[in-house]
Amino acid sequence: MNTFISGAAHILLIGVGATAVMDAWLLLLQRLGVPTLNFAMIGRWAGHWRRGTWKHDAIAKAAPVRGELALGWLVHYATGIAFAALLAGMAGMPWVHQPTLLPAFCLGIGTVAAPWLVMQPAMGAGIASSRTPAPAKNRLRSLANHSIFGLGLYLAAVVSAWISR
């Protein structure tokens, strides 16, 4: 297999694996009664892009978009893969073959900037959930979720490296 295809396969596996780890965490939280993100709202937000609408006062009040739940999951996993590619670009392909925890965990924590500075403001929740009833609690949840994603990046990279041996 050529180097480009091999690298792309590793990045795909790492991104999907890390996102699945985060989803397992979210499922656990949900089972414990902790409110988690509704991926249909991400799909609704993304679905409005083609209509030229990026920012909403409240995404839940925006018009529903056909297939919004599936679109939300697609955007969620595509974002995880993009972050895995960013990690491979920053840490280098040698990291992909011999992963260490620190780069993955640090990038995972850094990815919390996406919801805090892009998604939440665009969906009507304000910067870092500032317009929600419990901003501090929501910030901590986001930070915890993205820390788990960082751990998932590392674990998925370990599995990917092991498979390729």
Cα distance between residue 124 and residue 34, in whole Å? 21
pTM above 0.75, yes or no: yes
Do 47 and 65 touch, CB atoms closer than 8 A?
Answer: yes
Q: What is the pLDDT of residues 26-43, one digit of tens each?
A: 999 999 999 998 999 999
Write out the residue range of the structural domain in which residue 35 sits: 3-164
pLDDT of residue 3: 79
Contacts 24+ apart (CB under 8 A), 122-130: 122/45, 122/54, 122/55, 122/56, 123/41, 123/45, 123/56, 123/58, 123/59, 124/55, 124/56, 124/57, 124/58, 124/59
Q: Which residues of the chain have pLDDT under 50?
A: none
- Looking at residue 1, what is its pLDDT? 56
A 10 A CB-CB count for 81 gives: 18
Q: Report the number of distinct structural domains present in the chain.
A: 1
